Amino acid sequence: MSFRKPSVLPGFGLTFGFTTFFLSAIVLLPLAALVLAAASMHWSEFVQVVTSPRALGSYRLSFGASLLAATINVVFGFILAWTLVRYEFPGRKLIDALIDMPFALPTAVSGIALTTVFAQHGWIGRYLEPLGIKVAYTWLGVTLALTLISMPFAVRSLQPALLEVQRELEDAAETLGANRFYAFRRIILPTVLPALLTGFTLSFARAVGEYGSVIFIAGNLPMKTEITPLLIVIHLEQFDYRGAAALGVVMLLISFAVLLTINLLQAWGRRRHVQAAH
């Protein structure tokens, strides 16, 4: 088999060549430099950097808050997607359009705005303060910022899946005496499960690397409210390139693992879809 199928269309050499050249120059070679910089470290030095108490503390926050944010997004994302798909109400189109806002809004803007709203005297913070809930400058604020920036991923994964739920099956189940929750558990949930997991993973992937919105609302205290990307920046500012590269490689490996999970989940979803069609 040859490299490509013959075609009457011209321009394959030019466009394919430019694409791979540009991709290599801007993305792949710089990433290779990162891996090589970390590889130039002695193994024990690498382990020491990536398992230092401060690094471990930052993973705990970055992963904990990202998992929590992804969970919140799946729950509220499901409710939002359901509302947008199933119900008609004034402003539905506007709400649907607004879902993409965190995607277009610069993270620094989300960061300062969210901090202001949830600070001690902010619009929402002032009502939480008497309840003893501190959001700004705590892990709660970090979670909130991560929830905001990764929200569109969960909603947009779930919307098409909910559209595909066969209403006839739901109706049949109810006609046959199944109650609403049984129908939900046995018909809706299995159909949207791949989308639910994909939404979760995408949210998590987006949240775990986030920097801009978090540094404003986190107190940035070592071991407490310091995320891993911030720790990388701190290493860089001290010209400790190797330490920064080591932490970068850890984050890169996680990104690849997440990417792989997403691809597997989507393949699974497609397989289920094909099976359901038969």
**Quick one: DSSP state of residue 129?**
G
State the nearest-atom distance from the C-beta of 49 to another protein, in Å.
Answer: 14
- Distance between CA atoms of residues 278 and 259, nearest Å: 29
Indicate whether 128 belongs to the interface with another protein (CB under 8 A): no
Q: One symbol per residue from 211 to 250: x for binding another protein (CB under 8 A), - otherwise; what is it?
A: xx---x------------xx-xx--x--x-x--xx--x--
Q: Which stretch binds another protein (CB under 8 A): 6-14, 41-49, 51-59, 185-193?
A: 6-14
CB of 16 to another protein, least distance (A): 4
In this chain, which stretch among 49-57, 122-130, 185-193, 270-278 interacts with another protein, using CB under 8 A?
A: 122-130
18 part of the interface to another protein, by CB under 8 A: yes
- CA quadruple 160, 161, 163, 165: dihedral, nearest 10: 170
- 7 contacts another protein (rule: CB under 8 A): yes
Q: Which of 206, 230, 208 is nearest to 218 (CA)?
A: 230
Q: Which of 102, 141, 194, 243 contacts another protein by CB under 8 A? A: 102
The footprint of another protein on residues 146-185 (CB under 8 A) is 147-148, 151-153, 156-157, 159-160, 163, 167, 171, 174-175, 180
121 counts as binding another protein under rule CB under 8 A: no
The verdict on 99 binding another protein (CB under 8 A) reads: yes
Amino acid type, 272: R
**C-beta of 3: minimal distance to another protein in Å?**
6
- Establish if 142 lies at the interface with another protein (CB under 8 A): no
Report the alpha-carbon distance of residue 232 to residue 257 in Å, rounded.
20
Q: Residue 1: CB partners within 8 Å, gap ≥ 6?
A: none
Q: Is 131 in the site for another protein (CB under 8 A)?
A: no
User: Cα angle at 92 between 90 and 95, to 5 degrees?
Assistant: 125
Question: Cβ(200)–Cβ(262) under 8 Å?
Answer: no
Candidate residues 54, 56, 100, 190; the one interacting with another protein per rule CB under 8 A: 100
CA distances from 48 to 6, 44, 55 (A): 53, 6, 10
Determine the 3-state secondary structure of 34 from DSSP. helix
Tokens of 65: 């808050």
d(CA 233, CA 203): 23
Query: By CB under 8 A, what part of segment 42-71 binds another protein?
Result: none
